[in-house]
Each structure stands twice: as C-alpha cells, then as structure tokens.
Structure 1
C-alpha cells in the first residue's frame, strides 16, 4: 500500500443517484450504485460517487500479467477503479484480434463519496500525501453535494435498437458449437449476439443509466464517463471479491436463465422450472468447477469450497441460477494476483476455458468491455476488491456531437442446446437494456 493518508467525514444521508446526476457531465464521472435505486437488491450495500481522478492509465497491457499496473505505487493506495476488456483475457488463446476498446482503463480518485445503504450513512473520503491534503479532498467531496439534481426518468434516448446480424446467423453459430461439443472439442461455450445504434441528437449515456435505475437496478449498476467514452452497466453478476485483511476470495458465477412473466403464477413456474432443470444445473456446475480451478491458482491448498449451489435469483426481467465459490488467498497474494488467476470470468467463456475462447473467436468479433470486468479497489479507505462481470452492459463512443452505442448478450451453449431457445435467451437478457435505450 502507498503512504497516503485517508480522512473520512460522516454526513447526513443523500440519494446517491441524485448526487451522481449532478456530477455526470464532469470528467471521470463515476457512479457505482448498489441496486441503482434498490439497494437491497441481491446483497448490494455500498454505493460510490466520484469525478475528476488525479491519476489515469489508458492503454495496452501484457496479456500474461494484465493487472500488473495495479502494483504500481501510484495505484496502490486505494480509491482505484478499473475496466479490463474481455479480449485481453482471451488473447493467450486467440492472439491479438484488433482492439475495439482500450485493454485497460485505470484511475485513482483522491476524493469520493461512499453511501452505506444498510446504515443510511454517507461518508466523504479524502486521500493525500499528508493529513492537510487529505482534508482538502474531503472538503472537495462534500462540495459535490451542492450540485445534486433530483433525478427524473427521461424519454428513450434512441429511436432504434438494431442487431448487428440476423437471428439466423446466431442460431447457426449455436448449431456449430453444439456440433463441436458433440465432436469432443469442448463442453460449453458462451456465444454472444450484438446490437448497436446511435443516441438521438443531444442525448447522453447518462439518460440510459437513469432509465435503468428506475426500478431495474442491479447489485453492480455502474456509470462511468472518461473522455469520449462512457460505460453503462446493469450487471447482476459478481466476478470476485477479495478482502486483503483476512484473504477471503468469493465468486458468484451465473449460469441458467429464464425470462420473468407478468403473471405471478407463470413467473413462479418459470423460476421452479429453472431450479429443476438438469440442463441448467449441469451448465452451472461446469462453471463452478472451472471457477474452483481458477481460484485455486491464488488460494491456500484445501480452502476452495462451494458455499452455495444452484440458488435462483430473480431480477426485474430474468431469473438466474447462481452459485457461490470461496477460498482463502495464499500469503503474499494481492488484488492483482487474484484477478489474474481468474480473468476472464469463467461464466462468460466456457469449458475448457482456453478452447472455449478459441471457439468464441470463430463466431464473434472482439467483445471490448462486454464480459470483461469493472473493478474497484479500496474505495472505502480499506483494502477490499470488488469486481463485477460486465454483462447487461452498453458501451458508448462520442462521434462528433453524438454518441454511438453497442451492447451484447450471450448464452451458454452445451450439448443439448436448442439454437432457437438460446437465441430467445439472449433476447430476454438484453431486454432491460433495450427498454432503457429505445422504445422501439
């Protein structure tokens, strides 16, 4: 850890979304919202809002040690947020296939507001080389509260939501993967579809985040603006947590999905069907085994265990099957080592992981941030790491005065996958983002 001094000040509670709305056009505007309006959603407790980082790295990394920059003293003192693109993790299997987004975006925020939903507590946090400079950053964070804006739900910011390829192309890809599985090439691969478009004139990515936050917040909701790029995520999936104080590592892979239904009886039946599905349980178990193997690379021998298996989680538009795997890190293993042991997340690659990534590359162009990870290190002034899987995520790039966007959704393909059913699963998964971007 660096020698930075950390200062905290407890304040009266504020709505984190309102604070984020007042800062969203500033450089580096960041909102990590637990539940994004529903903080009780699936364990979400802490939200964070910040802007104007003092240290930034945007660029390539070594695929053999992609998180090595985290070991740089300039990023070792907490207050760090990063985004690693999926394609970096796939590169050892696929080679370099072009770049649609920087490999790594990493920043440090000397000032931050932390919102504890469980205790309705708001804390202003400042970091600096000495106590005086840390207090200056606390004051800076407090001043952000003067810019609060009461958030309202805007109209849809885009007039279209177009798939990059016809549905038949995706179904053919699924059929090809099923054939490869039958031939013994692999057991499972997550194959994705993509949609893209342009926001209407004058509209902004934060509009999409506001619409997602209106009753559809996920445990790892995020908005991040950096220069001419922005990211909006409504991810329900935890990639990793790591607590350096006791070495505990946790991952919660998602595998298995059913759409929600407006009819309560039908909705309950769909959840029960998911829970009882031998196919979905087998798919989930394959990824649990993969994640156990990944965590073992960073863990003390004998500490990797499955704490919960095949739990059904219900989200606004889908039911998911979720399992929990934990471990205790070996002495000397830090956040970068934990991330490197498991990246990219197993739930969005397949098994065996290396071969699955090769097969994915035959059917998809580079993914960019989608199914990479957004991670935060020491935001509350401690040494904890939280990393989400960037599913239910849209990326934005400013072209002139307007913003283009791209979003993906995938499905885990196994031996008995039906191409049409897997395509319909991707449409269920993209539904919340589709409704947030466009009314079409």
Structure 2
C-alpha cells in the first residue's frame, strides 16, 4: 500500500465531491469539539462488496476479500488502515440467538452490507491534515489511484440538490405507542424483564429526485454526532446516520471498549436551564438504574470473549451532550482473549444491549411481539474492520434508511417499571426530530 498527504480539505467538502459515484462509506465524526470526534474516513471504489442475508458469511468474506497488498505504510497516521466498512442490521442478530421474527423484512433491504475498501481518505480534524491510502490493483498501481483520487477532489464540489418534501407516516400512533409501553411495563411487573428498548417506525415514499447524500449533509448540520456515518451501496440503498453511540472498539493490542447510552434529557436554550437538565439527568434514579442494568449486561457480553478479570467499568453515569439531547453514558472495557478476533467480538455482543434490554433474549422476544415493524438496519451496527484486525463500530440510531422505494426513520427508548408512557413517547419524538424535519 501507499499513502500520500493531500492538501487539507474539510471532510464534508470531500464527501460532496465524491458522493454519488458508486459505493461510498463516510465515517463522519461531525461533532465539533467532541474528544471522540477527531478522525473521519471516506472509503470509495471497493475491491469487493458483500450483501448479507444473515451474518454467517461475514468472517470468511473478511479473509477472502482482502487485497494482497494489505499493509499500510508507517506514515499512514490513522487507526483504520484499510479493510471492511459497512453495516449489519439488528434483524441479522436474531437467528444466532435462536430467535425469529413475526415481521417480514423491509422490501429490498438486506440484513447487512460491507465493502472491502483499499482506497481511503483519512482526516485529522485537530491537525487539519488529510491523507489518502491506496493498494495496487491488477489494472492500476497504487500511485496512479492516489493521483486519480486527488484529481477528483481538486475542482470545486457541486452543491447538493435540495431535499424534496417528505410525506412521513407514523406506523404506531401515539395512543397505541403508549398502550404498548403499558404492556411492556406489565411484563416488567411479571418479572419477564428488568427493562426493554421499545421503538417505533416512520415511513415515507421515496420521492423522485431524493438524494441520500443531500439528506446526510443536512442531517450532519442539524445533528452533528461523533459516530455519524453515510453508506451508499451503489444499488439505491443508503444509510444516513447521526449516531452518538459507540458499540464496540478493538485495537491491535486486543483492548476492547463499549460505551452504552441509556438515559436522555432534552437540551434547553437557556444555559442555566440546560445545565440543570444535565444535572437532573445525572441524578435521576430511574435513568441511573436503566443505565446500570445495560452496563451490567455488556459486562456479561464482554466476559464471554475477554480474558478473565480484564472486564472493568472505568466510567459510570457520565453525561454527554449533543445537539438535541443530553445522554447518560457509561464505559466498559476488557482485553480480548487470545485466538479471537473482531468478528468474534462483534457476534458475541450483537445486537447491542442498549437497544435490546435485560435479560437480552427475553427482551428481544417482547420487542418482536410489541413493535409493529421489523427493525431492519436500525439498532444494528455500522463498523469498520481493519486489515490488521482492529475495529470500531456504532449503534445504528438516529438513522434514516433509504431503499429505492421507501424511507425509514426509527426511534425509541428503554422502558422500565418507572416509565411514564406519555414521557416515553415525547422522548422518542425528540430523538426522531432531526430525521423527520423535512416532512
């Protein structure tokens, strides 16, 4: 592989120049000032792609699709050194747990999609430095591919087209949503679960002229997030994500981290009121209990694949603030056992506990019973899995999913015995608001 430093270009401007020209993944750390939002990546021209009906083929494909020229040079300064980028949907996690869904899948939406990218742009936001990485192809050497990429970035990028009006339809009206929350509380009272994540789906026909890249550009301006992402499969399907939540990260030494989000409070225009909202969230017994239950679940999930005694909770009940909401966040770390890799880690914890509930198996059964649609890509994971075995991933929340015919926007929250159905509906709508603003 070869790398080359290019003149600094803002990641959003580079995205504007490259979008719409075949499969592309933009891992978009758009949250200015967030310590976790220091690096962004754009992958284009994948050497291979994988459309998944279930998760099973992914580990073997990660090996067979690797380029022969698969070692990044030492002057490439980023954790992702080329490899797979894509998404695995929530529904792909059912069969490995022995579960099935009563809902047919969304039409034309696969269970997941990955591209093997050996042409990558990396952006260091703080240093304002941009690098390009390329592997050789049989018909093109790495240097020529780097030159061609630089040439594509040179002209002024054309503006994205406007977003046409979107006609959103609520598949679970408010009175039914609140009634289903009450049913979930009854399951909690009966001892089936301690909590479960309950969600709703809005749909809109995809109008002529809808450009997913335009939507993502507007979304990242409205709701910048440290784990934002845009995925264009090149087949009419796209994900536009403003996720604030890390799922799993793995470095080359085997260190693992997950950062579950459980607990939400709205932002306020007044600084004093905003600070009071954050403080109230941190002190709220219901929100702390909800967060602690999911932190314990993820400790257990990591314990299945991490070395004995290595799983720790270095951060508990931290408040992180985003454009629309404050969130209560904890961190769980561990060290992956020898002989295991990124796919083992991903599958052992999938789907993420913050969007299932506890205990996970029973919560997922209840979710399927009470929700009105499949989840599809929503509540799955967007991930990069490097050629060197490292990985980072997000939970697919705050995300619009576009198929050739339909747009999907989904949101929800964790339900406990203390949940108030009307408040849960309002929280769901707060999370959904950046996605359905073009209604």
- TM-score, normalisation: structure 2: 0.90
Secondary structure in 2 matching 1:10: strand
Q: 2:289 is matched with which residue?
A: 282
Question: Distance between the aligned counterparts of 1:332 and 1:147, measured in 2?
Answer: 47
Q: 1:74 aligns with which of 60, 65, 76?
A: 65
For residue 21 of structure 2, the aligned residue among 19, 26, 42 is 26
Distance 1:372 1:108, change over 3 A: same
Q: Deviations over 1:32-81 (max 9, x none)?
A: 1111xx4433511111123221201103235xx56424543214854211
- CA positional deviation for 1:105: 0.8
Corresponding residue pairs, total: 420
* 8 Å CA contact retained: 1:66, 1:340: no
2:335 paired residue number: 328
Corresponding position: 1:235 with 2:243: yes
User: Distance between the aligned counterparts of 1:242 and 1:82, measured in 2?
Assistant: 16
Q: Where do residues 63-212 of structure 1 align in structure 2 (5 Å cutoff)?
A: 65=56, 67-75=58-66, 77=70, 78-91=82-95, 92-97=97-102, 98-100=104-106, 101-128=109-136, 133-149=141-157, 156-212=163-219
- What is the rounded CA distance, in whole Å, between the counterparts of 2:269 and 2:426 in structure 1? 17
Question: Structure 1 unaligned runs (5+)?
Answer: 1-5
The 2-side partners of 1:95 and 1:272 are apart by 41
More moved, 175-184 vs 102-111: 102-111
- Tell me how far apart the structure 1 counterparts of residues 61 and 296 of structure 2 sit (CA, whole Å): 28
How far residue 132 of structure 1 moved from its aligned partner, in angstroms, is 7.4
Per-residue deviation, residues 288-321 of structure 1 (Å, max 9, x unmatched): 0000111111111100000100001110001100
* 1:179 alignment partner, SS class: helix
The one of 327, 333, 345 aligned to 1:338: 345
Bigger mean CA offset, 99-108 vs 332-341: 99-108
Q: Is the 8 A contact 2:88 2:377 kept in 1?
A: yes
The C-alpha deviation readout for 1:103-147, integer Å capped at 9, x for no partner, is: 221111221111111221111100236997333332333233135
Partner of residue 309 from structure 1, selected from 311, 316, 335: 316
Residue 279 of structure 2: SS of its match in structure 1?
helix
Match status 1:384 vs 2:375? no
SS at the partner of 2:40? strand
1:82-118 deviation line (CA, Å, top 9, x unaligned):
2101011123353154332212211112211111112
Alignment map for 1:9-20 (pairs within 5 Å): 9-20=4-15
Query: Which position in structure 1 is the counterpart of 2:44?
Result: 51
- Name the SS of the counterpart of 1:415 in structure 2: coil
* Structure 1 equivalent of residue 403 of structure 2: 397
Per mean C-alpha deviation after superposition, the further-off stretch among 24-33 and 354-363 is 24-33
Please say if residues 48 and 112 of structure 1, whose CA atoms lie closer than 8 Å, have aligned partners that are also in contact. Answer: yes
CA distance in 2, matches of 1:89, 1:121: 38
Asked whether the 8 Å contact 2:18–2:153 carries over to 1, the reply is no
Please give the alpha-carbon distance, in whole angstroms, between the structure 2 residues aligned to 1:170 and 1:93. Answer: 27
Q: Which residue in 1 is equivalent to 2:409?
A: 407
- What corresponds to 1:433 in structure 2? 435
Decide whether aligned partners of structure 1 residues 307 and 241 sit closer, same or farther in structure 2, where only a CA change above 3 A counts.
same
Query: What is the Cα deviation at residue 431 of structure 1?
Result: 1.3
Show the counterpart of 1:261: 268
Contact kept in structure 1, 2:89 and 2:377, CA below 8 Å = yes
Query: Is the contact made by 1:67 and 1:339 (CA closer than 8 Å) also made in structure 2?
Result: no
CA distance in 2 between partners of 1:308 and 1:278 (Å): 17
Please give the secondary structure, in 2, of the residue aligned with 1:434.
Answer: coil
1:209-233 deviation line (CA, Å, top 9, x unaligned): 1111225210111111111211100
Residue 249 of structure 1 aligns to a residue whose secondary structure is: strand
Query: Is 1:418 the counterpart of 2:425 in the alignment?
Result: no
Extract unaligned runs of 5+ from structure 2: 71-81
2:3 alignment counterpart: 8
Q: 1:94 to 1:132 in 2, by over 3 A?
A: closer
Cα separation, partners in 2 of 1:111 and 1:302, compared to 1, 3 Å: same
Deviation at 1:199, TM superposition (A): 4.4
| Residue range with higher mean Cα deviation, 48-57 or 330-339 | 48-57
